[in-house]
């Protein structure tokens, strides 16, 4: 019997795929779970029990828009009772003084509020929702008034990259303790909209510089996480901190996944919380064991000095770009399929095509 893997640190609980926004880079899969398949309250409460029992320390309530679930305060309260650190990842458009106060009372630890841009006109166009930016500004004000710690999250792409300095100013004005300047990752909806989103190298470098300057200016007051667009990186990212090593993700319908894009992996059964315990799935389900550690790796990963730094990069990206989930992530300069990345950057159109918005049935 082989030793059990260390338990996950974090649970990403995707409560629903319903969302009033339609961002073209959404991290949800192209095939969205309909409302009728969502786990009910009792099922989520059991999942939280199992997560705490196995050693999960943090739960991220996400979606879609998790505030579309009326039972969210009950889930937050239960997480708090179990000692789980609770984080709400929200668009903010459903936040009212009442709904926010309920969450704070239930013991919510932290809110991560997404913004699409630093200005209303473009932000509303990216979210494909009129008035969304104004609602978010009001949500941020309410969160600050409630005293809840706030992280602002900005997803960066060619159509908003020039406003990164304005985004950092906005975060400071709104009283955020943290801000994430995260370049788009290209799977699912992001991959579908890649030509409309992928920045050029000059844009990327300008965002890096803006972040560097703000870090110096805001040291000790606001921390800034920067996520690079890995198409321009030298090495692949250690996706999810390694497959099945730190994160466990549960889809609205209860499928248990190593990452939110894993449902694209072919030829493997997706275990669900309706059929097995979270610990059993984490420890033994083929979906989790297939790419855990380094045994699965092909060359050039297998003999690479960095194999336990980047864990071979991203399996979903390897599948999407190289056609095989067990290939070296093409982002890596040593990958046999790296030319795919170079060709994509070269073929990027001068004028971005229209967005294909994220909504049920639009993929």
Residues that bind another protein (CB under 8 A): 6-7, 9, 54-55, 57-58, 83, 85, 87, 109-110, 112, 147-149, 151, 177-178, 216-217, 219-221, 223, 225
Q: Is 332 annotated as a binding residue?
A: no
For another protein, the closer of residues 147 and 267 by Cβ is 147
Q: Least Å distance between CB 47 and another protein?
A: 17
Q: Are 192 and 264 in contact (CB under 8 A)?
A: no
Contact 320, 337 (CB under 8 A): no
Q: How far is the CB of 220 from another protein (least distance, A)?
A: 5
- Closer residue to another protein in complex, CB, 223/272: 223
| Least distance (Å) between residue 12 CB and another protein | 12
Minimum CB distance to another protein, residue 4 (Å): 11
Decide whether 247 or 357 has the Cβ nearer to another protein.
247
Question: Is 259 labelled as part of a ligand binding site?
Answer: no
The conformational region for residue 222 under phi > 0 = left, psi -120 to 50 = alpha, else beta, is beta
Q: What is the DSSP letter of 69?
A: S
DSSP 233: -
C-beta of residue 76 within 8 angstroms of C-beta of residue 70: no
For another protein, the closer CB: 85 or 270: 85
Which residues are within 8 A (CB) of 304 and not within 5 positions of it... i.e. 6 or more apart?
A: 334
Contact 161, 154 (CB under 8 A): no
Q: How far is the CB of 94 from another protein (least distance, A)?
A: 21
Q: Which is closer to another protein, CB of 173 or CB of 209?
A: 173
> Left, alpha or beta for 338 (phi > 0: left; psi -120 to 50: alpha)?
alpha
CA 312 to chain centroid, in Å, comes to 19
Binding site, annotated residues for [4Fe-4S] cluster: 19, 23, 26
Binding site, annotated residues: 19, 23, 26
């Amino acid at each position: 019997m082989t030793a059990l893997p260390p338990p996950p640190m974090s649970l990403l609980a995707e409560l629903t795929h319903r969302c009033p926004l339609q961002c073209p880079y959404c991290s949800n899969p192209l095939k969205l779970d309909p409302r009728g398949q969502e786990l009910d309250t009792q099922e989520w409460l059991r999942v939280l029990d199992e997560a705490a029992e196995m050693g999960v320390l943090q739960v991220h309530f996400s979606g879609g828009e998790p505030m579309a679930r009326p039972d969210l305060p009950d889930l937050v309260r239960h997480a708090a009772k179990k000692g789980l650190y609770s984080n709400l990842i929200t668009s903010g458009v459903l936040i009212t003084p009442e709904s926010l106060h309920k969450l704070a009372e239930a013991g919510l630890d932290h809110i991560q509020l997404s913004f699409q841009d630093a200005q209303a006109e473009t932000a509303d166009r990216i979210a494909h929702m009129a008035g969304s930016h104004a609602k978010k500004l009001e949500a941020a004000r309410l969160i600050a008034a409630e005293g809840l710690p706030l992280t602002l999250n900005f997803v960066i792409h060619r159509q908003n990259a020039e406003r990164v300095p304005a985004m950092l100013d906005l975060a400071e004005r709104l009283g955020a303790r943290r801000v994430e300047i995260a370049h788009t990752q290209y799977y699912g909806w992001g991959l579908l909209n890649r030509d409309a989103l992928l920045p050029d190298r000059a844009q990327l470098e300008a965002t890096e510089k803006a972040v560097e300057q703000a870090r110096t200016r805001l040291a000790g007051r606001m921390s800034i996480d920067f996520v690079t667009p890995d198409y321009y990186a030298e090495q692949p990212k250690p996706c999810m901190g390694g497959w099945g090593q730190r994160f466990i993700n549960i889809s609205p319908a209860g499928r248990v996944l190593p990452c939110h894009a894993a449902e694209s992996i072919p030829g493997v059964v997706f275990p669900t919380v309706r059929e097995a315990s979270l610990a059993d799935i984490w420890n033994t389900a083929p979906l989790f064991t297939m790419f855990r550690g380094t045994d699965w790796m092909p060359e050039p990963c297998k003999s690479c000095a960095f194999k336990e730094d980047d864990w071979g990069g991203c399996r979903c990206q390897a599948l999407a770009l190289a056609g095989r989930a067990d290939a070296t992530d093409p982002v890596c300069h040593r990958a046999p399929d790296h030319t795919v990345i170079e060709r994509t950057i070269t073929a990027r159109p001068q004028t971005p095509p229209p967005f294909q918005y994220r909504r049920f049935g639009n993929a």
